[in-house]
Structure 1
Amino acid sequence: MDEDSRRTRWERRTEGPLAVASLVFLAAYAIRVLTGDPPDGLRALCLGLILAAWALFAVDYAVRWRLSGQRLRFVRTHWLDTVVLILPLLRPLRVVKVYEAVRRRHGRPRFALHARVMVYAGLATVLLGFTGALGVYQQEHAAPDATVRTFGDAVWWTCATLSTVGYGDVAPVTPVGRLIAVGVMAIGLALLGAVTGTFASWLLQVFAREDDGGPPAS
């Protein structure tokens, strides 16, 4: 059996477990942040689940790197997995990737390309918005002169930032909080551009078909 076949089989077998690990990581991280000062047992459980999820991603990354035989080229061609391994808060993106893989495995995707792009962008926005709000709240709520005092403030700030509105009524003041903010801003611009560009492309196709006298695509 060649390395490509072994890698493909490995990726298929680990899609589901890694998606579950992403959700477990997000749940454990949310509980640890939102409970404030949890009991020692709950804190230890959440920390153990977070570390276990990180270990699963590290093992999966190492195995696929070994099976690919690409060495440093693997890091460039699998940039999402590399970023997810380095930045734990981006692990929920794995769920979006698994959703795409499952749809392809069951044959032709249910939605057209334009609809799929908007659906995936929406899923990524919700997941990253929630994790970004958790990260900002964790860093900001106890900082001096902080304006993000509650998780609701963090969610409001994330929505305003992802939508590129940026009211400025609440904003991070800590270095780590501002670093998270930079990532949320960049992601917001990318997702907004993807959705608006895809929607505009779909409208152009519809209008072109109408001009040609053909029925619009569903």
Structure 2
Amino acid sequence: MDDDSPYTRWEQRTEIPLFLASLAFLGLYAARVLAENMPHGLRTLCWVSMLVLWALFAADYLVRRHLSGERFARFVRTHVLHTVVVLLPLLRPLRIVPLYDAIQRRQGEPRLSLHARVIAYASLSTLLLGFAGALAVYQQERGAPGATMRTFGDAVWWAAATLSTVGYGDITPVTSGGRVIATGMMAGGLALLGAVTGSFSSWLLQVFSRESDKRPPES
């Protein structure tokens, strides 16, 4: 898409509001999972609000498909992340790269180097993915027969061990839903860890290369 296309203008106008809406969705989901004694009326309100926000995300997806001018099947194939965050709205906050681009189009040139941006993106994505994954797996595991994940603190510890690819094994999902979530978090952890270590290694190589170029030639 060119920078002056209707698709790009739509993305610039909606990316920040939709990111804030995704954080609200995550907060409402966290309230439903963690506030076990929440009154029925508030729980219903949270559920309805989540449905409204999901409908907003779905409407944005359909508008993007229309503005792209592509057939629906092709749009799904070429915009995988958009499709995933509509099906799994908890992952919507992970769209921080388009969010940053939308902000930079308003403010000018980026203030951070490429390596710093990659590390910042990956670090923030890891925190968001870990929190969302801990909530989702805790909802699946809570009260399940034979579950070792008894508190949300256990879920956070498990998410940290999973995303860091350590996998102590002291807490493991026992439900089918929990194991599906675990599989996705393992894949996400490997990708994010690879992005951070790769970018950091590249930055170190550039630093050492510049230092070598500054040294006077040996006589």
TM-score grouping bracket, smaller chain normalisation:
over 0.9
Asked if 2 retains the 8 angstrom alpha-carbon contact of 1:140 and 1:177, the reply is yes
Show the counterpart of 1:147.
148
Q: CA deviation at 1:92?
A: 1.6
CA RMSD of aligned residues (A): 1.5
5+ unaligned residues in a row in structure 2: which ranges?
none
Q: Does 1:204 align with 2:208?
A: no
Asked if 1 retains the 8 angstrom alpha-carbon contact of 2:138 and 2:152, the reply is yes
Q: CA deviation at 1:52?
A: 1.0
Question: Which range is displaced more, 87-96 or 172-181?
Answer: 87-96
Matched residue SS, 2:5: helix
Amino acid at match of 1:162: L
Show the counterpart of 2:167.
166
Show the counterpart of 1:68.
68
Q: CA deviation at 1:97?
A: 3.1
Show the counterpart of 2:113.
112
Q: CA deviation at 1:130?
A: 0.2
| Partners of 1:61 and 1:145 in 2: CA distance | 40
Q: CA deviation at 1:126?
A: 0.5
Amino acid at match of 1:47: W
Q: 1:42-69: per-residue Cα shift (whole Å, max 9, x none)?
A: 1011101111111011000001101111
Show the counterpart of 2:194.
193
Asked if 1 retains the 8 angstrom alpha-carbon contact of 2:140 and 2:178, the reply is yes
Question: Which range is displaced more, 48-57 or 91-100?
Answer: 91-100
Identity of aligned residues (%): 67
Show the counterpart of 2:101.
100
| Partners of 1:97 and 1:152 in 2: CA distance | 31
Show the counterpart of 2:10.
10
5+ unaligned residues in a row in structure 1: which ranges?
none
Asked if 2 retains the 8 angstrom alpha-carbon contact of 1:129 and 1:159, the reply is yes
Distance change (3 Å), C-alpha of 1:104 and 1:201: farther
Q: Which runs of 4+ in 1 moved over 2 A?
A: 94-97
Aligned pairs, how many? 212
Amino acid at match of 1:46: C
Query: Normalising by the residue count of structure 1, what TM-score does the alignment of the two structures yield?
Result: 0.93
Q: 1:162-182: per-residue Cα shift (whole Å, max 9, x none)?
A: 000000000100000000000
| Partners of 1:41 and 1:94 in 2: CA distance | 32
Q: 1:22-55: per-residue Cα shift (whole Å, max 9, x none)?
A: 0110000000000114211110111011111110
Q: Does 1:134 align with 2:112?
A: no
| Partners of 2:141 and 2:104 in 1: CA distance | 39
Q: CA deviation at 1:115?
A: 0.3
| Partners of 1:101 and 1:126 in 2: CA distance | 21
| Partners of 2:68 and 2:205 in 1: CA distance | 40
Asked if 2 retains the 8 angstrom alpha-carbon contact of 1:22 and 1:94, the reply is no
Show the counterpart of 1:183.
184
Asked if 2 retains the 8 angstrom alpha-carbon contact of 1:137 and 1:151, the reply is yes
| Partners of 2:211 and 2:97 in 1: CA distance | 34
Amino acid at match of 1:97: P
| Partners of 1:98 and 1:160 in 2: CA distance | 28
| Partners of 1:93 and 1:41 in 2: CA distance | 30
Asked if 1 retains the 8 angstrom alpha-carbon contact of 2:19 and 2:99, the reply is yes
| Partners of 1:78 and 1:189 in 2: CA distance | 22
Q: 1:121-170: per-residue Cα shift (whole Å, max 9, x none)?
A: 01100001000000011010110000011000000000000000000000
Asked if 1 retains the 8 angstrom alpha-carbon contact of 2:11 and 2:102, the reply is no
